[in-house]
Amino acid sequence: MNRLANFYKGKKVLITGHTGFKGVWLTAWLNQLEAQVIGYAIQPPSDPNSFEACRMTDHMTHISGDVCNASQVEEVFETHKPDIVFHLAAQSLVRYSIDEPANTYSVNVIGTVNVLEAARKCDSVKAVISVTSDKCYKNQNWQWGYRETDELGGLDPYSSSKACAELVVSCLSNPRYQKSAGSKTVTPIASVRAGNVIGGGDWAADRIIPDIFRAIVNKDDVTIRSPNSTRPWQHVLEPLSGYLWLGVKIVEQPDAFLGGWNFGPKNDDIWTVQDIVNGILDRWQTKNTKLIIDEDKSGAESQLLKLDCSKAQQLLDWSAIWNVPTVLDAIVAWYQQYLLEPNADMYPLLITQIKQYSADAEKAGHAWAKAH
């Protein structure tokens, strides 16, 4: 049993947005750690989706609801009295946000106010991890990685709404605010900033991995707009290990692990969009799908994005574990099983990959993965 299992076993954990790609992986991991998971979210974001492919309703308490509904959010807290809260519910698509900014800001800003307020008012809650994005930083087009103290902002509604969500956290996590709002004890709230998470089970629109597998299924080519763009690609389990470990540390020492936290890959492991597509197509060994480059110079998405994860490295002893080839192996394994075995329950593969990742982390000597 590693230190995460030692902590989460038997804990009540509330996840908002558990029907999303990241939420499913987090739920599976917490189940593997023997936590009791309660999820609050709207319907899964796509069809197909990993929530259904993994039969998640068998593995948790699933509550259907919208984070914009403040009274229902409070009711969920009052009924289930969670120990730890992971707030993942968000409108997470850049392209959609350009067409629907109002919905994006409502969910990402007011939704965060609702969840953090409900958590503050609920005595059982010992730690809240609010998930925003690495896109919350104002793009400076510089060559350095963004640090947690850098200026917030965003050039598309999604990024800007995540910058606003960060400000909501900075306001509601303030002990002075909480005390003046009538809290007897301060509820520790931290925000986590990761992005470009990839892994099995994502079917969102306009994301590179789902786009590649849709193309493979349909025997289409993959067209990319920014072949040389780099993103801090990382397997979804990497930031999740950081979120889970941060939850442990906050409960152990409530005032020592607050503020924002970047979780990103190592700086020598940054791949371009082109490399990712070729890596997957090579592994799949398909002749029906080719890479087409149709370069878009409008600059709609920022070209250079790198995170400085020194804070997590120094204070949490956290860093990314899987290199990009390992990540691509895991992803291809996932989608191949899904496509070759129609209607297969994908949950066991989630657990297998989580165990593999935890074993690799233990071997590499990461603090959270050590046997307790």
Partner 1 sequence: MSFWSGKKVFVTGVSGLIGQHLLAHLSELGAELALFTHSSIIMPTDIPNYNKFKGDISNKQDIETALVKFPADLVIHLAAQSQTSNENIRDTFQTNTLGTLNLFEAVSAVRPNASVILASSIAVQFPDNMYAPSTYAASKQCAEIIAQNYSAARGINCMVIRLGNTYGPGDHHNQRLVPSLIQAMLNKEKIQLRSNIDTETNLLYVEDAVNGFLLVGEYLLQDKRLYSALTLCANMNVTTRELVSSLSKILDLSANVALNENLSLKVAEHAILPSELLVSTLGWQPKVKMSDGLEQTVNYYRQTLNIQGTD
Q: Which stretch binds partner 1 (CB under 8 A): 49-57, 111-119, 331-339, 351-359?
A: 111-119
Residue 159 or 289 with smaller CB distance to partner 1: 159
Q: Least distance (Å) from partner 1 to the CB of residue 141? A: 13
Span of 37-45, 109-117, 194-202, 231-239 interacting with partner 1 by CB under 8 A: 109-117
Shortest spacing between CB 297 and partner 1, in angstroms: 16
Among 5, 93, 155, 344, contact with partner 1 (rule: CB under 8 A): 155
Taking CB under 8 A as the rule, does residue 163 contact partner 1? yes
Nearest alpha-carbon partner for 11 in 173, 250, 198, 179? 250
User: Rule CB under 8 A: is residue 182 a binding residue for partner 1?
Assistant: yes
| 109 near partner 1, rule: CB under 8 A | yes
> Judged by CB under 8 A, does residue 167 bind partner 1?
yes
Shortest distance, CB of residue 312 to partner 1, whole angstroms? Answer: 16
Residue 17 Ramachandran class (φ > 0 left, ψ -120 to 50 alpha, else beta): left
Dig out the tokens for 299 from the structure: 């600059």
Is 173 among the residues that bind partner 1 (CB under 8 A)? yes
Q: Which of 172, 316, 350, 361 binds partner 1 (CB under 8 A)?
A: 172
Contact with partner 1 (CB under 8 A): which of 75, 117, 275, 362? 117
Using CB under 8 A, which of the segments 48-56, 102-110, 206-214, 313-321 binds partner 1? 102-110
User: If binding is defined by CB under 8 A, does position 256 make contact with partner 1?
Assistant: no
Residue 45 touching partner 1 (CB under 8 A): no
Nearest to 83 by CA among 146, 11, 142: 11
* Of residues 157 and 232, the one with the C-beta less far from partner 1: 157
Binding-residue total with partner 1 (CB under 8 A): 36
For residue 42, CA distances in Å to 45, 170, 348 come to 8, 26, 24
> CA 324, CA 92: separation in Å to the nearest integer?
23
Answer yes or no whether residue 98 interacts with partner 1 by CB under 8 A: yes
Q: What type of residue is 116?
A: L
48 versus 259: smaller Cβ distance to partner 1: 259
Residues in 330-349 at the binding interface with partner 1, rule: CB under 8 A: none
Q: Which residues bind partner 1 (CB under 8 A)?
A: 70, 98, 101-102, 105-106, 109-110, 113-114, 117, 149, 152-157, 160, 163-164, 167-168, 170-177, 180-182, 258-259
